[in-house]
Structure 1
């Protein structure tokens, strides 16, 4: 039985407009824009989430290092059970003393066997220690921990940017694969119609059999190309789903950006030097290396700290009658076999090392920016040229088809014109893909991801 689904849907919509709105929302939810894919990746990608946890860990470590500026307070307690009491037996000395004193009975002088420490004893104390000077090491440690946190943020952004570039590539690659599949589908349908037409003309004795054979071979090739294009779509879809946490989607809704260049190479290069995260990462490492020199230099200075102790509880410790003590202590390594000197030199070499890496990185980024810019110019030229070629190829296909239908042309000429037009359209789409992928890569590397996503 034939069912008019369109009519049925209209009837349901009149009765329940809310249901239609719900169905429309569900259908639209299957579309995926590049910006939505980016937001899903930031939210659900495991590599990005793991990198964020590293940033969080460095933030907590930075907070922990600030504790070096504050005093430390500790509580300790001890309870001991000895085998015997600890005593001092002086009865022999008492006997000698009684003789000297002329006392006939030494016991009259008492028992000179004294207990100094009972076998059960215990105590509890509160201790405080506060470093007040460490030659600049405390300040350096705090600055270093702050830079390490910022380095973790840089590293996270670099990893995130690499995945964004990959996402842009995969997204537009899927766009390319979908449009290529549609073109291959159109070619297949066109050649199918042409093949059927050629068969009828042959059966009516208008064209020779060889013309139908050309059409059948072309139809077989078109089918093979269509199946390959469908596989490309499937692979590209899987690649995107892997990046965005496995979310299902049917279509990509973001169109290609039409190629154009309004910014000069010099402007892009200046932005790359000022905004690139890898350069910022190296600059932070240079700062960290310089702090390393300060840390090693601090070993030349004394370390000074305040300390204090308060007895909270004691048992059977009558000899210790102090409730508290406070004081100040200092230590100073005057000579350690030239260890400090060599460590300072090693730290300075690390500074120079990072500076050289930064210098080379700037040159590499300038070259990299020029390469991307040249690619943009190349794809822009390709796109503009292919637009003109497409118009000519469409006219040629029309003329070949009319000539064949009038019996003055061959099926091979029609197929060649059809395939030529298809190839031009494919090259045009590929130029769009390469331009958009390259432009996205450039924008991400100069920290303009949001601007790129909002532009599309």
Structure 2
């Protein structure tokens, strides 16, 4: 009974250790999700999109009235007066008044005391701006879409880097495993060679070959482990985590998913760089509309309401409204040249679009050819691996029977390991090229779900 409890306890501990060990194992999809949530460049790009969202909302406010409150309190050096006593005396003479001051009083009036103040509520609203407000809103909408597309491009760039780093780590880990297998085989062979030498079956020179091969295998194993450490650091930094213990995703076996023309069509219809150019083309057209709007008058309404006043006897009204019109008839041909400049901008973007399509078509073919080449390499290496396995088996048996040399066994072992390593590299190159092609054609999710 006690043994059963101990067994249950150790089973529980083993299960816990296994769960904890695998807790940090991640798939490519999980690494991608972590990168989007933790990578600083992604966060910065996302804040840029939010900034443009607020700018777009602010531009919408151009259609709405502006309401403000203003106030002024002033102190003049002296009162503003009007001395009409000379005119009073003239009037008194005409009326035959001998003492005008006694009859008519003092005609020295204070029009405005030196201390005065007022506060107003102000409203203004554009009615017509020649289409400039509509164009500004359209431009703002395009700029927001541009920022979103640029954010997607930043995500795509980092995703391509992630695919490269992730599979480079996978390559390094499998290389370590392969180097370890080679080391174990050569170690076993070295031990056998030493025993054969001790029993007088083989000369000492055969043991020297085995020892040199063992030293080389150990050196390559240590170097491969360093490659794993470096690749692990690159992945961790990109996805924003402190540690990962393993990868759950496997290499996708090479295959040609669809013809080149279909990949090219996807690239020309879904690539984010082309969408950037398309949005810039729309923005350039809006720029022409903005410049054309300067030919038309600008009309707006405004109004004020006097909330408070102090010592303003001449201002007896409480509010007023008005309509303003401004029409610039001539400005030194500035409008004409600005319109031409805007049209050149459209032509510039159109030429960029043509060249970008040519470049993307060429790059698509390059990635596709890389996939094809690595597929051919992989299939050829599969056949070579079967032959190398057979050769290693025969060399090992010959050595054990005393008809072969240690050097032949080591050579067969290294040839087999070299073929396996080339197979892993072919898988790496294929997956990186395939992943980049899928990301650039807008099929990121489909690629990630395959891994």
Q: TM-score range by the shorter chain?
A: over 0.9
User: In the alignment, is residue 59 of structure 1 matched against residue 56 of structure 2?
Assistant: no
Q: State the match for 1:41 in structure 2.
A: 35
Q: State the match for 2:8 in structure 1.
A: 11
Q: State the match for 2:269 in structure 1.
A: 274
Among 80, 83, 86, which residue is 1:89 paired with? Answer: 83
1:120-178 CA-to-partner distances (Å, cap 9, x unmatched) read: 21111111111111111110000000000000011111111000000000000000000
8 Å CA contact 2:22–2:245 kept in 1: the answer is no
Among 211, 219, 224, which residue is 1:224 paired with? Answer: 219
Give distance in 1, aligned partners of 2:400 and 2:245. 40
User: Which shifted more, 92-101 or 133-142?
Assistant: 92-101
User: In the alignment, is residue 101 of structure 1 matched against residue 95 of structure 2?
Assistant: yes
Pair 20,419 (structure 1): closer, same or farther in 2 beyond 3 Å: closer
1:225-252 CA-to-partner distances (Å, cap 9, x unmatched) read: 0111001000000000000113311111
Give distance in 2, aligned partners of 1:264 and 1:187. 39
- Report the alpha carbon displacement of residue 8 of structure 1 after superposing the two structures with TM: 8.5
User: In the alignment, is residue 153 of structure 1 matched against residue 148 of structure 2?
Assistant: yes
TM-score by length of 2: 0.96
SS in 2 for 1:251: coil
- Report the alpha carbon displacement of residue 83 of structure 1 after superposing the two structures with TM: 2.6
Pair 54,267 (structure 1): closer, same or farther in 2 beyond 3 Å: same
User: Which shifted more, 86-95 or 254-263?
Assistant: 86-95
Among 445, 448, 452, which residue is 2:440 paired with? Answer: 445
SS in 1 for 2:328: coil
Q: State the match for 2:133 in structure 1.
A: 138
Give distance in 1, aligned partners of 2:306 and 2:295. 36
The runs of 4+ residues in structure 1 deviating greater than 6 Å are 6-9
Q: Any unmatched runs of 5+ in structure 1? A: 1-5
Superposed, which structure 2 residues align to 1:95-134 within 5 Å?
Answer: 95-108=89-102, 109-134=104-129
Q: State the match for 2:25 in structure 1.
A: 31
TM-score by length of 1: 0.95
Q: What is the total number of aligned residue pairs between the two structures?
A: 448
Q: State the match for 2:67 in structure 1.
A: 73
- Report the alpha carbon displacement of residue 89 of structure 1 after superposing the two structures with TM: 1.9
SS in 1 for 2:292: helix
Pair 324,151 (structure 1): closer, same or farther in 2 beyond 3 Å: same
Give distance in 1, aligned partners of 2:16 and 2:321. 76
- Report the alpha carbon displacement of residue 86 of structure 1 after superposing the two structures with TM: 1.4
User: In the alignment, is residue 368 of structure 1 matched against residue 368 of structure 2?
Assistant: no
What is the RMSD of the two structures over their aligned residues, measured on CA atoms?
1.6
SS in 1 for 2:304: strand
Q: Any unmatched runs of 5+ in structure 2? A: none
SS in 2 for 1:32: coil
1:255-304 CA-to-partner distances (Å, cap 9, x unmatched) read: 11111113000000000000000000100000000100110011111111
8 Å CA contact 2:21–2:245 kept in 1: the answer is no
Give distance in 2, aligned partners of 1:423 and 1:213. 22
Pair 199,8 (structure 1): closer, same or farther in 2 beyond 3 Å: farther
Pair 63,403 (structure 1): closer, same or farther in 2 beyond 3 Å: same
User: In the alignment, is residue 394 of structure 1 matched against residue 405 of structure 2?
Assistant: no
Among 403, 425, 428, which residue is 1:430 paired with? Answer: 425
8 Å CA contact 2:22–2:246 kept in 1: the answer is no
